Amino acid sequence: MRDEMMGQVLGLVVTSVSVLLAAITSGLRLKPYMDAGVEQTPMTFAVYPAGIAVAITVPIVFLLRWWQGKRNVDIGPVTFTDNSLFVVLGCLLYIAVAVTFFPYDPSTTPQPAHQEAPYSAPLPRSNISVF
């Protein structure tokens, strides 16, 4: 009973760490786009890597569940309950696919237009000239 509970806690820790790593990866990948002033990131930023990760994760998880004959999957001392294995594999595959196949490409990032100095309002009690 105690080993089973410890395995579930380890599964929760592994799930939490994988989500944190995926978030950090997305943030690091998003930074160059934000620095360049891009309003809309390309589809290769998150949609394609996430789609590929899901397409690989779903069959693997169902295969592992079928092979072990139960809903909770045991991998070594770690027990993944419910859908946590989907989350772990999805996040790890997202990181691998995004970094490996869809790195940041500065040549496709549109550069922001030259920005002029912002308009400054006149000071109070000053003369305003129309021309």
Can you give the pLDDT at residue 44? Answer: 78
What CA–CA distance (Å, rounded) separates 64 from 42? 34
Taking only the tens place, the pLDDT of each residue in 91-128 is: 999 999 989 988 776 666 555 555 556 666 667 777 76
**pTM for this model (two decimals):** 0.73
For 30-41, give one letter per residue: b (16+ CB within 10 A) or e: eeebeeeebeee
